[in-house]
Amino acid sequence: MAATPEIPNSDKNGERRAREPDEAQVVVETRALSKVYRDFWGRQKVRALKSLDLEIHKGEIFGLLGPNGSGKTTTIKLLLGLLFPSEGEAIVLGQNATEVSKNERIGYLPEESYLYRFLNAEETLDFYGRLFNIPADVRRERIDRLIKLVKLDAARRRQLREYSKGMTRRIGLAQALINEPDLILLDEPTSGLDPIGTREMKDWILELRDQGKTIVMCSHLLADVQDVCDRIAILHQGELKELGRVDELLKVEDVTQVKARGLSADCQDEIRQVIERHQGELVSMENPTTTLEELFLSIVRDSEARPGRRIVKQEPTKQGKS
């Protein structure tokens, strides 16, 4: 497995579009979107979503965040038209979410890859490809490229029933990209993936955003959301609690962080005195640790470079990335 996941540019014209989201172009809009689950007799069971108002712009990665049962998946299903709203409406790509024709430009990776287990990877992509108006030669070429992209080249003729969880996720992603969609909805994209798979998935998501596609993902894995999302909405018990840009939401306005290398103890003392002189409060001064994810990845990278050697201890500061 390659240590640094690098995906071939899947856009045929190869041109990288503007990285900044286009504020003017609204791709997804919900107005007072609500969902009440009812039982057979029409009695109310759960209010899964309460009057959600959202606007998602072209070219951004939008994260729906929240604990289990907070209405993330319900929102995604409403956007796809798999559920019908009890109140309000969802407009996706300029059409009502219950319209079928909007699906031409949508890609969807469900929570677990719900695919036909009796098909192999090629047949799966072929089947989903045939549901779109794609010429046969383009379809074949695209299937080949996607299989290579998600690194299932070796397993392309194995039935999906033999696939591991990670492989199923990959073929699920490939299936969602078969029509080169403008809007991609990902339900827990990293669930069930190992750290390498998670990193690859996140890189693919960023790559897709760089191609100008809009991505809506939902997750309860905070790290994932933090790493890739431009904007997030935090849901709890069906209600919108927070909405905004990730960097702004996470920015701690009254704390300044200084990072330096090679400071002596005297120098550190001096800095403390400077802070004191300016009536500041020193919160902490220590050697930083890397994240576990970084550590694990660096170990794997290292062991692939020098196979056979058992790594006892890794210098924590060596590979540190801000």
Partner 1 sequence: MILEKPLLPYFEWLLQFDKTRWGALPHFLLTLLVIAIATLLLSLLVGTVLYGPLKAGDKVYRVVVNGFRELFSLSFRRVWALARLAIQESLRGRVLIAVAVFVLLLLFAGWFLKTEREPARLYFSFVLTATSFLGLFVALLLAVFSLPNDFKSKTIYTVLTKPVRAGEVVIGRILGFSLVGTVLLAIMGVCSYLFVVRALDHTHTVVGSVLAKGGDAEGNLPETTSLDKGHRHTIQQDDDGHLFAEFAHDHDHHVGESNGRLVVSSPHETIRARVPRGGTLRFKDRQGVQVARGVSVGKEWGYRSFIEGGTQAAAIWTFDGIDEKTLHDEDDGGEALRLELVVRVFRTWKADINTPVQGVIQLKRPGSDLKTAPEFFSAKDATIDQRYFPRTLTDTNNQPIDLLDDLVDEQGQIEVVVQCLDRSQYFGFAQGDCYVRMKEGSPLWNFTKAYISMWVQMVLVIAIAVTGSTVLSGPIAMMFTVSFILLGFYREFFVRVARGIQEGGGPVESLVRLVTQMNLTAGFRGESETTSLWIMRSVDSVFLGAMELLANVLPDFGEFNATKYVAYGFDIPANQIAQQLTMGAAYVIGLSIVGYFLLRTREVAK
Interacting positions 141-200 with partner 1 (CB under 8 A): 159, 172, 175, 179
* 221-256 CB burial, b ≥16 within 10 A, e <16: eeebbebbbbbbbbbeebebeeeeebeeeeeeeeee
C-beta closer to partner 1: residue 217 or 297: 217
Q: Residue 161 is encoded by which pair of tokens?
A: 């029933």
What's the min distance (Å) between Cβ of 95 and partner 1?
12
C-beta closer to partner 1: residue 13 or 101: 101
As a whole number of angstroms, the distance between CA 96 and CA 81 comes to 9
* Binding letters toward partner 1, positions 26-45, x by CB under 8 A: ----------------x---
Rg of the chain (C-alpha set): 23
What's the min distance (Å) between Cβ of 132 and partner 1?
7
What's the min distance (Å) between Cβ of 286 and partner 1?
48
**Per CB under 8 A, 279 contacts partner 1:** no
User: What contacts 102, CB < 8 A, 6 or more positions away?
Assistant: 81, 92, 93, 94, 95, 96
Contact predicate 104/93, CB 8 Å:
no
Question: For partner 1, which residue of 83, 167, 177, 297 counts as binding (CB under 8 A)?
Answer: 83
Contact predicate 81/97, CB 8 Å:
yes
Residue 60 Cα distances to 22, 23, 206, 222, 225, angstroms: 8, 9, 10, 18, 13
C-beta closer to partner 1: residue 97 or 208: 97
User: What contacts 15, CB < 8 A, 6 or more positions away?
Assistant: none
Q: Is 312 exposed, middle or buried (0-12, 13-18, 19+ CB in 10 A)?
A: exposed
User: How many residues bind to partner 1 according to rule CB under 8 A?
Assistant: 33
Interacting positions 243-272 with partner 1 (CB under 8 A): none
Interacting positions 97-136 with partner 1 (CB under 8 A): 100-101, 103-104, 106, 108, 110, 112-119, 123, 127-128, 130-133
**Per CB under 8 A, 82 contacts partner 1:** yes
**Per CB under 8 A, 68 contacts partner 1:** no
Return the range that interacts with partner 1 (CB under 8 A); candidates 17-25, 80-88, 193-201, 304-312: 80-88
As a whole number of angstroms, the distance between CA 111 and CA 69 comes to 13
Interface residues toward partner 1, by CB under 8 A = 42, 77, 80-84, 100-101, 103-104, 106, 108, 110, 112-119, 123, 127-128, 130-133, 159, 172, 175, 179
